[in-house]
Chains A and B, each alone.
Chain A
């Protein structure tokens, strides 16, 4: 299957073809993670995060895949793993891995770094969104699904469409605050 096909499968959520992405790359990534102080479960998490990062950056956006799908996926997984090791403060391990990092020429650094950053952003959006009130979450979700403001007003017992937008602005404002304070820390 071609790289373009892998990407399409991911964007479309095509289970059968997503399986073949795993088939193709899971073993390679698991071996790398296990060589670098991780478990099979770690590898599974990383692999999943890698795919989600690609989804976040390339599905429904104008970005084009310029490196190979496998190299990109591997690049993101590595980047994420360095990050997790640092979090765990296992310095010796990081140092050891770091050497490999710089001698590694497979890593399409720029592209995987961008996808990794996108993933981080989406995770922060997810976390801070969950801190909004239930009413805000419902209202924003419905708007995001393209439900008309009038209908949302009826559904959430809000006076009218205008008030729905007023609430939206309040909720978005709050969300922006939470996002900014969360990305600073």
Chain B
């Protein structure tokens, strides 16, 4: 029995009395184990509260704009002493200089795509018992950025398990990284039209595919369609400022 299972059975109060006592004794000795227990408790709580938390977020998202849209009235007649005004001017000058430096850094730094196209690691092994070896090879190839090697493995996987959006997303990324833009976009578009936790990924990567190909107008258009509640909204705003 591994730690995860033991902790789970402990939390569900399913360990036989003796094992339970031994486990409690071990917890006192072993800080790592205690840490794992705390994390698993957090995860259980996350899962219990997940639905309500998402609902609350959506609710706040719709209430927020009522109170934040209009600019606040400027404070009437605040008198700024001359000394502070000069300091302020100096601070603004400095800020402008730094902004220039930042711009220069971006101009001479790696391409925008390289800066924004950071892929999350592929993690599929937990999905099935069967073809573990293939999955491990696929994960390894992808995570080492060997997209040419990962591509056929993902294609085979998706053929076997159509509708696995996570695998399809990574398939799209491999197509994108190997320069097969039209095929990649077909995959991302399809994902962006699903009602799933992957839809925002689809939209974001669709934008990245245009960026990589150098079509900035199309990239902007897709970014602008990202809803504010999307995980990628902030990133999209940053990228929009720079395409």
- How many residues on the B side are at the interface (Cβ–Cβ under 8 A)? 52
Interface residue? A77 (CB, 8 A): no
A41, B64: Cα distance in complex, Å: 9
Interface residue? A72 (CB, 8 A): no
Question: Is there contact, CB below 8 Å, between B57 and A15?
Answer: no
Known contacts A132-B126, A174-B126, A175-B43; decide if A19 and B57 are in contact (CB<8 Å): no
| Partner-binding segment picked from B17-25, B65-73, B172-180, B212-220 | B65-73
- How many residues on the A side are at the interface (Cβ–Cβ under 8 A)? 61
Chain A residue contacts of B68, Cβ below 8 A:
26, 30, 40-41, 43-44, 47
Chain B residue contacts of A174, Cβ below 8 A:
123, 125-126
Question: Is there contact, CB below 8 Å, between B8 and A19?
Answer: no
Q: Which listed residue, A15, A31, A55, A179, touches B63 by the CB 8 Å rule?
A: A15
Whose C-beta in chain B lies nearest to the C-beta of A40? B68
Interface residue? A18 (CB, 8 A): yes
Question: Is there contact, CB below 8 Å, between A136 and B57?
Answer: no
Can you list the 5 inter-chain pairs with the closest CB atoms, starting with the nearest? A144-B47, A44-B68, A174-B126, A26-B67, A22-B67
Residues of B at the A interface (CB closer than 8 Å) are: 2, 4-5, 8, 36, 39-40, 42-53, 55-57, 59-61, 63-72, 91, 94-95, 98, 120-121, 123-127, 164-166, 196-197, 231
* With A26-B67, A136-B126 already in contact, 20 other A-B pairs whose C-beta atoms are closer than 8 Å: A22-B63, A27-B72, A48-B64, A51-B60, A52-B53, A55-B53, A92-B98, A125-B42, A130-B231, A131-B121, A134-B164, A141-B51, A145-B47, A168-B8, A170-B126, A172-B4, A173-B126, A174-B125, A176-B43, A179-B43
